Amino acid sequence: MKTKTIKKIALWSVSALLLLVVVLAVHIWWAYHPRVDAYTKVMARIDVKQPVSAADAGRISAWLYHQKGVDHVLVNPDTRIVVFTFYPISTSANEIVKSFKAQLRYKADRFVPTQQALASSCPVAGSSFYYKVYKFIDHIL
SS3 content of the chain, % helix, strand, coil (to 5): 55, 15, 25
CB contact at 8 A, 57 and 104: no
Residue 123 in this model has a pLDDT that exceeds 60: no
Residue 10 in this model has a pLDDT that exceeds 80: yes
Identify the CA nearest to 76 among candidates 33, 111, 127.
111
Q: Is the pTM of this model over 0.75?
A: no
Structure confidence at residue 22 (pLDDT) = 92
| pLDDT grade for 127, boundaries at 50, 70 and 90 | low
Residue 124 in this model has a pLDDT that exceeds 60: no
Angle at the Cα of 138 from the Cα atoms of 136 and 141, rounded to 5 degrees: 110
Structure confidence at residue 23 (pLDDT) = 93
Structure confidence at residue 122 (pLDDT) = 64
- What is the pLDDT averaged over residues 54-75? 94
Look at domain 42-116 and name its CATH class. alpha beta
Mean of per-residue pLDDT scores for the chain = 87
Residues of the chain with CATH 3.30.70.100: 42-116
Residue 47 in this model has a pLDDT that exceeds 70: yes
Structure confidence at residue 114 (pLDDT) = 84
CB contact at 8 A, 86 and 96: yes
Structure confidence at residue 80 (pLDDT) = 94
CB contact at 8 A, 110 and 97: yes
